[in-house]
Amino acid sequence: MNEIKERVSRALDEQADSIDGATLSRLRQARARALETPPLWQGWRLPLALSAAISLVAALVLLDAHQGQQLPEELLPVSRQLEVMEIINLEVDLELVEELDFYDWLEQQENAGEEA
Protein backbone atom coordinates (compact mmCIF):
# COMPACT_ATOMS: atom_id res chain seq x y z
CA MET A 1 0.00 0.00 0.00
CA ASN A 2 2.86 2.34 0.79
CA GLU A 3 4.21 1.76 -2.68
CA ILE A 4 0.92 2.93 -4.15
CA LYS A 5 0.94 6.03 -1.98
CA GLU A 6 4.47 6.86 -3.01
CA ARG A 7 3.86 6.30 -6.70
CA VAL A 8 0.69 8.33 -6.76
CA SER A 9 2.24 11.12 -4.70
CA ARG A 10 5.20 11.19 -7.07
CA ALA A 11 2.89 11.37 -10.08
CA LEU A 12 0.91 14.19 -8.47
CA ASP A 13 4.13 16.06 -7.66
CA GLU A 14 5.23 15.71 -11.28
CA GLN A 15 1.86 17.01 -12.40
CA ALA A 16 2.23 20.04 -10.13
CA ASP A 17 5.81 20.66 -11.26
CA SER A 18 4.93 20.45 -14.94
CA ILE A 19 2.31 23.19 -14.95
CA ASP A 20 3.02 25.44 -17.92
CA GLY A 21 4.20 29.02 -17.69
CA ALA A 22 0.95 30.56 -18.91
CA THR A 23 -1.04 28.77 -16.21
CA LEU A 24 1.51 29.71 -13.56
CA SER A 25 1.19 33.31 -14.65
CA ARG A 26 -2.59 33.12 -14.21
CA LEU A 27 -2.11 31.61 -10.78
CA ARG A 28 0.20 34.47 -9.84
CA GLN A 29 -2.39 36.98 -11.04
CA ALA A 30 -5.08 35.20 -9.05
CA ARG A 31 -2.88 35.30 -5.98
CA ALA A 32 -2.16 39.00 -6.45
CA ARG A 33 -5.89 39.73 -6.78
CA ALA A 34 -6.60 37.74 -3.63
CA LEU A 35 -3.94 39.61 -1.69
CA GLU A 36 -5.43 42.93 -2.79
CA THR A 37 -8.77 41.91 -1.29
CA PRO A 38 -9.40 43.69 1.97
CA PRO A 39 -9.98 41.13 4.70
CA LEU A 40 -13.46 41.04 6.16
CA TRP A 41 -12.40 42.84 9.31
CA GLN A 42 -10.51 45.56 7.41
CA GLY A 43 -12.88 46.25 4.55
CA TRP A 44 -15.77 48.65 4.49
CA ARG A 45 -18.37 46.07 5.45
CA LEU A 46 -17.53 45.52 9.08
CA PRO A 47 -16.89 49.19 9.98
CA LEU A 48 -20.07 50.12 8.14
CA ALA A 49 -22.04 47.50 10.03
CA LEU A 50 -20.59 48.62 13.35
CA SER A 51 -21.27 52.28 12.54
CA ALA A 52 -24.83 51.44 11.61
CA ALA A 53 -25.31 49.46 14.80
CA ILE A 54 -23.82 52.18 17.00
CA SER A 55 -25.93 54.84 15.27
CA LEU A 56 -29.05 52.78 15.75
CA VAL A 57 -28.32 52.19 19.43
CA ALA A 58 -27.65 55.89 19.93
CA ALA A 59 -30.87 56.82 18.13
CA LEU A 60 -32.93 54.40 20.17
CA VAL A 61 -31.42 55.59 23.44
CA LEU A 62 -32.13 59.22 22.52
CA LEU A 63 -35.65 58.33 21.46
CA ASP A 64 -36.33 56.56 24.72
CA ALA A 65 -34.84 59.41 26.73
CA HIS A 66 -36.89 61.90 24.76
CA GLN A 67 -40.07 59.99 25.42
CA GLY A 68 -39.26 59.98 29.11
CA GLN A 69 -39.34 56.22 29.34
CA GLN A 70 -37.14 54.52 31.83
CA LEU A 71 -34.68 52.17 30.17
CA PRO A 72 -34.56 48.63 31.48
CA GLU A 73 -31.41 47.25 33.02
CA GLU A 74 -30.22 45.72 29.80
CA LEU A 75 -30.33 49.19 28.17
CA LEU A 76 -32.58 48.17 25.29
CA PRO A 77 -35.70 46.07 25.08
CA VAL A 78 -35.11 42.61 23.63
CA SER A 79 -37.00 43.44 20.48
CA ARG A 80 -34.70 46.37 19.80
CA GLN A 81 -31.62 44.36 20.63
CA LEU A 82 -32.81 41.89 18.04
CA GLU A 83 -33.18 44.70 15.51
CA VAL A 84 -29.61 45.74 16.19
CA MET A 85 -28.35 42.17 15.89
CA GLU A 86 -30.25 41.80 12.64
CA ILE A 87 -28.46 44.76 11.13
CA ILE A 88 -25.09 43.49 12.30
CA ASN A 89 -25.81 40.03 11.01
CA LEU A 90 -26.68 41.34 7.57
CA GLU A 91 -23.08 42.34 7.16
CA VAL A 92 -21.46 39.21 8.51
CA ASP A 93 -20.11 36.89 5.88
CA LEU A 94 -22.26 33.76 5.86
CA GLU A 95 -19.39 31.53 4.91
CA LEU A 96 -17.41 32.79 7.86
CA VAL A 97 -20.29 31.93 10.16
CA GLU A 98 -20.46 28.43 8.70
CA GLU A 99 -16.75 27.98 9.30
CA LEU A 100 -16.79 29.10 12.93
CA ASP A 101 -17.28 25.56 14.13
CA PHE A 102 -14.30 24.43 12.11
CA TYR A 103 -12.20 27.28 13.44
CA ASP A 104 -13.13 26.46 17.04
CA TRP A 105 -12.12 22.90 16.46
CA LEU A 106 -8.75 23.98 15.02
CA GLU A 107 -8.06 26.08 18.09
CA GLN A 108 -9.00 23.20 20.38
CA GLN A 109 -6.62 20.93 18.48
CA GLU A 110 -3.81 23.42 18.90
CA ASN A 111 -4.50 23.93 22.56
CA ALA A 112 -4.56 20.18 23.08
CA GLY A 113 -1.26 19.93 21.19
CA GLU A 114 0.35 22.61 23.37
CA GLU A 115 -0.82 20.92 26.55
CA ALA A 116 0.44 17.51 25.48
Do 87 and 53 contact (CB within 8 A), yes or no?
yes
Q: How far is the CB of 29 from other proteins (least distance, A)?
A: 9
Single out the residue of 21, 33, 68, 79 in contact with other proteins (rule: CB under 8 A): 33
> d(Cα 116, Cα 102) in Å, to the nearest integer?
21
> d(Cα 111, Cα 99) in Å, to the nearest integer?
19
Do 88 and 49 contact (CB within 8 A), yes or no?
yes
Give 69 or 109: the residue with its C-beta nearer to other proteins: 109
Sole window of 27-35, 48-56, 74-82, 83-91 interacting with other proteins (rule: CB under 8 A): 27-35
Return the axis-axis angle of helices 78-91 and 45-66, rounded to nearest 10°: 160
| # of chain residues touching other proteins (CB under 8 A) | 41
Rule CB under 8 A: which residues touch other proteins? 1, 4-5, 7-12, 14-17, 19, 23-24, 26-28, 30-31, 33-35, 37-41, 43, 93, 95-96, 99, 102-103, 105-107, 109-110
